[in-house]
Amino acid sequence: LAKTTQPISMDSYEGQEVNITCSHNNIATNDYITWYQQFPSQGPRFIIQGYKTKVTNEVASLFIPADRKSSTLSLPRVSLSDTAVYYCLVALSGTYKYIFGTGTRLKVLA
């Protein structure tokens, strides 16, 4: 049974780096790992996507170890507006079914 787990919540202060890890034990071998941000009553918003090693864009970095059974989203310097729920999304091995992680509620404090 595929499980995609994340810490339930995290608190951080403005300007700090935040790392959120997702564990995905049954990931598809040829699919990407994607991270999303979700604000209340809105759709998930794309942050970053990667396949292996490290990916960086203008808002985040994504670290993926060689076994791809986990991934870590890194937000370099969070601000109050980064308070949201963060989800990883992976494809279930051998399928086109997608599994969201359990979600991490990040609260950024002033």
Partner 1 sequence: EPEVTQTPSHQVTQMGQEVILRCVPISNHLYFYWYRQILGQKVEFLVSFYNNEISEKSEIFDDQFSVERPDGSNFTLKIRSTKLEDSAMYFCASSAPGLREDTQYFGPGTRLTVL
**Residues within the interface to partner 1 (CB under 8 A):** 31-32, 34, 36, 38, 41-46, 49, 87, 89, 95-103
Q: Which is nearer to partner 1, 84 or 101 (CB)?
A: 101
Smallest Cα–Cα separation from 60: which of 84, 41, 42, 40? 84
What are the DSSP calls for 42-97, one per residue?
S--EEEEEESSEEEE-SS-EEEE-TT-SEEEEEESS--GGG-EEEEEEEEBTTSS-
Q: In angstroms, what is the minimal distance from the CB of 100 to partner 1?
A: 4
Contacts of 70 (CB under 8 A, 6+ apart): 21, 22, 23, 24, 64
Q: Which is nearer to partner 1, 9 or 16 (CB)?
A: 9
Q: In angstroms, what is the minimal distance from the CB of 49 to partner 1?
A: 5
Q: Which is nearer to partner 1, 13 or 39 (CB)?
A: 39
Q: In angstroms, what is the minimal distance from the CB of 63 to partner 1?
A: 18
